[in-house]
Amino acid sequence: MGAYVRRRFAGLVIVVFVASVIVFSLVRVLPGDPAVTILGQDATEEQLEAVRTSLGLDEPITTQYWLWISRAATGDFGYSYATGYPVVELIANRVPATLHLVVAGLLLATVLGVSSGIIAALNRGKLVDKVINAMNMATLGVPSFSLGLVLLMVFGLSLNWLPMSGYVSLWDDPVDAITHLILPAGTLGILIMPQLSWLVRDGMLANLEQDHVRTATSMGLPRSVIVRSNLLRNAFSPVLTLLGLTTGKLLAGAVIMESVFSWPGLGSLALRSVLSDDYPTVQAVVLLAVVTVVVVNLLTDLLHAKLDPRVMKGD
């Protein structure tokens, strides 16, 4: 286990390092002078020079990278070009909204995916199985914003059951928060669901044919016990891995959901920043997303290795 952890951790460090160099270079290859972007065209040469020095722009490029990354590691991403606030403050303000959305989306995806997978496996080849499969296929063909907007038109606009946009914190008003969450998190959940549903179904069916299940059946154990203790337990570890792998998908989906449902999260911050040339904020959000993806992947892999030590042998 120790060697495996070390090898995986080394991989993570390399990926994060290269990604951070890319994110850092984004701003360096941009046309134009950041000092001019901050101060505007009318600034005097002395003012520009002062800003350049404060940004460290007169240092060699490796020193600049080192300054940027060591500050970033302590949470200092500089100041937003657009608003003048510290970037870390802008991000901190928006983390809760995105966390609400992502956690609720993941929960709904797991519940929907696992239950539909179990139902499909237990009704293998029957109509229910085919309907679930067709729905999963159709979901993959629908862009998330289309799905979100259709749900919004049905449940928000026509039926008027749910609010059409906006975010309320769970700590402020749990009921209101949940009604606001249902549409965006539900859409996100439905998008992640198909892969899970298939995985659970296929995993259960593969296990159904294994000896230990046949033994349990011939011993007369009730079906519900077999499903719970044999089939689901074996399907658990791949589900976990898949959930880990969907982190990137979840974050990207959150950017779109935040746009559809006017959700004040990190995605809409990134989008607004990129459209207003606010590079320090873009850098910070992109780096944060990459680190999140890589760290979650590592954690799921380690957990997977713990549950199923065979994976450590492969690469």
Partner 1 sequence: MAGTPTAGPPGTGPGDAAARTGVLRLVLGHPTGFIGACGVAVVLVIALFGPMLAQHGPYELAGDPLTGPSSTHWLGTDNLGRDLLSRIAVGLRMSLIVALTATIIAAVVGGALGMLAGFIGGRTDRFVMRCWDVVLAFPDIILAIAITAVLGSGMWTAVLAIAAVGMPSFARLARSATRTERNLDYVLADLVAGAGRVNILLRSVLPNVAGPLVLFLMTSIPHAIILEAGLSYLGLSEQAPTPSLGAMINTARNYLVETVWFEIVPIVALFLVTVSVMLIGLRLSDALDPARRYTRRAIRRGSGGTA
Residue of 230, 233, 225 whose CA lies nearest to 212: 230
Report if residue 167 touches partner 1, rule: CB under 8 A: no
DSSP-assigned beta bridge partners for residue 79:
86
Q: What's the CA gap between 297 and 241, in Å, rounded?
A: 8
- Measured distance CA(203)–CA(61) in Å, rounded: 51
The CA distance from 309 to 312, in Å, is 6
Give the one residue of 86, 96, 248, 264 binding partner 1; rule: CB under 8 A. 248
Residues, the chain: 315
Q: Is 82 in the site for partner 1 (CB under 8 A)?
A: no
Give the range of 56-64, 84-92, 216-224, 255-263 binding partner 1 by CB under 8 A.
255-263
What is the Cα–Cα distance from 106 to 283, expressed in whole angstroms?
A: 26
According to the binding rule CB under 8 A, does residue 300 interact with partner 1?
no
Nearer of residues 156 and 207 to partner 1, judged by Cβ:
156
For position 259 contacting partner 1 by CB under 8 A, the verdict is yes
307 forms part of the interface with partner 1 (CB under 8 A): no
Contacts of 243 (CB under 8 A, 6+ apart): 106, 109, 110, 196, 300
- Is residue 131 near partner 1 by the rule CB under 8 A? no
Spatial CA neighbour of 114 closest among 222, 255, 8, 235: 235
Q: Is 112 helix (H, G, I), strand (E, B) or coil?
A: helix
Range in contact with partner 1 (rule: CB under 8 A) among 56-64, 149-157, 172-180, 220-228? 149-157
289, 302, 305, 312: which one contacts partner 1 (CB under 8 A)? 289
Among 1, 70, 85, 143, binds partner 1 (CB under 8 A): 143
Position among 282, 284, 302, 305 found at the interface with partner 1 (CB under 8 A): 282
The least distance separating partner 1 from the CB of residue 139, rounded to whole angstroms, comes to: 10
* Cα(261)–Cα(254) distance, integer angstroms: 10
91: left (phi > 0), else alpha (psi -120 to 50), else beta? Answer: alpha
Q: Which of 243, 285, 302, 305 is the binder for partner 1 (CB under 8 A)?
A: 285
List beta partners, residue 86: 79
Note whether 121 binds partner 1 by CB under 8 A: no
Q: How far is CA 208 from CA 163, 211, 299, in A?
A: 44, 8, 29
Alpha carbon distance 271, 286 (integer Å) = 11
36-45: which pairs have CB atoms within 8 A and are 24 or more residues apart? 37/81, 37/277, 37/279, 38/81
By the rule CB under 8 A, 286 interacts with partner 1 = yes
Residue whose CB is less far from partner 1, 216 or 284:
284
* Residue whose CB is less far from partner 1, 194 or 227: 194
One of 255, 302, 305, 312 touching partner 1 (CB under 8 A): 255
Chain residues in the site for partner 1 (CB under 8 A): 11, 14-16, 18-19, 22-23, 26-27, 29-30, 137-138, 140-146, 149-150, 152-153, 157, 164, 191, 194-195, 198, 245, 247-249, 251-253, 255-256, 259-260, 267, 270-271, 274-275, 277, 279, 282, 285-286, 289-290, 293-294
